[in-house]
Amino acid sequence: MHPARSVRWMIRRLVALEGYDRTMTGHAQSLLREALSLSEEERAGLIAELLISLEGPAEDDEAVVDQAWAQALEGRARRVLAGEAPGEDWGQVRDRVGRALSSE
């Protein structure tokens, strides 16, 4: 499958999942016409930047990553202390991981 076709398929799936109705303002339509006049490479770069802008804060933002890790660890600690996540013996985990790695 041509890369552009797979991208179109993926975008159609995302649009269908999000319930996007394809309605655009005049300004957005004007920007679209302008974007469509770009080369394929330029359009791909523009698409990438637009998609990144929808994701929220960059994952490489150290403060965001640190906060996410702190929240994850706090949640895990709360579950352990509440008896909801009993955990596993480190020796058993180490042995299981060692066996898995040696079988690769």
Q: Using H for helix, E for strand and C for coil, what is the string for 4-52?
A: HHHHHHHHHHHHHHHCCCCCCCHHHHHHHHHHHCCCHHHHHHHHHHHHH
- The gap from C-alpha 57 to its chain's centroid, in whole angstroms, comes to 11
More confident residue, 75 or 52: 75
User: Per-residue pLDDT averaged across 93-99, rounded?
Assistant: 92
What are the structure tokens assigned to 92, written together? 């058993």
Q: What is the pLDDT of residue 52?
A: 80
Please answer whether residues 66 and 60 qualify as being in contact, where contact means their C-beta atoms are separated by less than 8 angstroms.
Answer: no
For residue 56, name the pLDDT band (cuts at 50, 70, 90): low
Position 78 confidence tier, pLDDT thresholds 50, 70, 90: very high
Task: Work out the pLDDT band at 62, boundaries 50, 70, 90.
Answer: confident
What residue segments make up the domains of the chain, in order of their start? 3-54, 62-102
**What pLDDT is stored for residue 21 in this prediction?**
62
